[in-house]
Structure 1
Amino acid sequence: MGHVLGDVLGVAAAVAVSPLPIIAVILILATPRGRLNGVLFTFGWILGLSALGAVMLVIASPAGASSHGHPAAWAGALKLALGLFLLLFGARRWHRRPKDPSQARLPKWMGAIDRLTPVKVFALGLALAALNAKNAPLTIAAGATIGSAGLPVGQEIASLAVFVVIATCGLLAPLAVFLLGGERAKATLGDWKEWAAQHNVAVMAVLFFVLGLKLFGDGISILVS
């Protein structure tokens, strides 16, 4: 189990530093129902990651590992494809980044966050976890890594749980600041939001490229071993 956690912890950390979900939860916390909606958004995020990871475990576990104890060839092919996707998407994001960070614009849907009902806030967290162009491939890769390692079911579930907890730290940090930070919380979260908004595209592009390169390399290593 230890070597599997070593493989997925880096991926989980990359999911955790996703700028858009962090900006979204900060905006949600600033609404009149911020305390409730912030918690619901985080639960939606956790459910989205858990559900997508669990689906991959169900798909991957029957295939298991190869006869030599290595991940199956299909896992290598999947990582190769996901790595290539992230590399191309990262290059595209970098090419389209604003030359002046102060000119960066947030997605239009963020302007309607203060009008979302609790149910829609929960659904937003679910979607940003399971359908996001970066988080979904990384969660799929993590699930495939865990599922193809030939671990007992209990260790598979425990490994997925560790992945989800680490991947949620990016949302738990602003939520903790809001709940425990008192009067200084708004100023602190405001500074975080401004930085994330200005550097969102560049941060995402670099993450796409680095993680895409890692998954691409992992895929090649599995296929040629």
Structure 2
Amino acid sequence: MGAVLGDVLGFAAAVAVSPLPIIAVILILATPRGRLNGVLFTVGWILGLAVLGAVMLAIASPAGASAHKHPATWVGALKLALGVILVLFGARQWRRRPRDSSQAQLPKWMGAIDRLTPVKVFALGLALAALNAKNAPLTIAAGAAIGSAGLPVGQQIASLAIFVLIATLGLLAPLGVFLLGGERAKTTLANWKEWAAQHNVAVMAVLFFVLGVKLLGDGISILTSG
């Protein structure tokens, strides 16, 4: 189990520091129903990661590992494909980064966050976790790594739970500051939002490229040693 956790913690950390969900939860916390909506957004996020990861476990577990605990060929091919996707995403993000970080613009949908109902806030958290083109490949890769390791079911579930917990720290941090930080919370969260907004593209570009290269290496290693 330790080797699997070492494999997936990098993916979890990359999901956790994804700037857009962090900015979204900070904006949500600033709305009149910030306390309720912030919790609902985070719960939706956790559910999205857990469901997508569980789907990959269900797919990978039955035929994920050989008798010698070596990942199946299809796992290597999946990691190779995900690696290519992430490297291409990273290159695209890097080319699109603003030369002046102060000119960075947030997605237009963030302007409507203060008008979202609690149900829509929950759905937004779910979508940013499970359907987002940036986070979904990382969760799929983590699920495939866990499911193909030949672990007992209990250890698979525990590994996925740890992945989800680490991947949610980026949201739990501002939520905790809001709930426990008192009057200083607004200033702290505003500073975090400004930094994340300015460096969103560059941060994600570097993360995508580094993790994409790692997945390419993992995929090649599995395919050539099978």
TM-score bucket (shorter structure): over 0.9
Aligned residue for 2:22?
22
More off after superposition, 60-69 vs 7-16: 60-69
* 1:48 aligns to 2:42 (yes or no): no
* 1:102 aligns to 2:106 (yes or no): no
**Structure 1 counterpart of 2:47, which letter?**
L
Distance 2:111 2:88 in 1: 29
Q: For each residue in 1:155-205, what CA deviation from the matched residue of structure 2 results, as whole angstroms up to 9, or x when unmatched?
A: 110100000000000000000000000000000000000000001011111
Aligned residue for 1:36?
36
TM-score (structure 2 length as normaliser):
0.98
Asked if the contact 2:93/2:201 (under 8 Å) is kept, the reply is: yes
The aligned length equals: 225
Percent identical across equivalent pairs? 87
TM-score (structure 1 length as normaliser):
0.99
Residue 70 of structure 1 and its aligned partner are, at CA, apart by 1.0
Give ranges in structure 2 of 5+ residues lacking alignment.
Answer: none
Asked if the contact 2:64/2:75 (under 8 Å) is kept, the reply is: no
Asked if the contact 1:80/1:219 (under 8 Å) is kept, the reply is: yes
Distance 1:98 1:221 in 2: 36
Residue 89 of structure 1 and its aligned partner are, at CA, apart by 1.1
Q: For each residue in 1:63-117, what CA deviation from the matched residue of structure 2 results, as whole angstroms up to 9, or x when unmatched?
A: 1302332111111100000000000111011001111001100000000000000
Residue 224 of structure 1 and its aligned partner are, at CA, apart by 1.0
Aligned residue for 2:204?
204
Distance 1:66 1:216 in 2: 21
Aligned residue for 1:152?
152
Aligned residue for 1:93?
93
Asked if the contact 2:76/2:222 (under 8 Å) is kept, the reply is: yes
Give ranges in structure 1 of 5+ residues lacking alignment.
Answer: none
Asked if the contact 2:57/2:147 (under 8 Å) is kept, the reply is: yes
Distance 2:177 2:219 in 1: 39
Distance 1:131 1:97 in 2: 23
Aligned residue for 2:67?
67
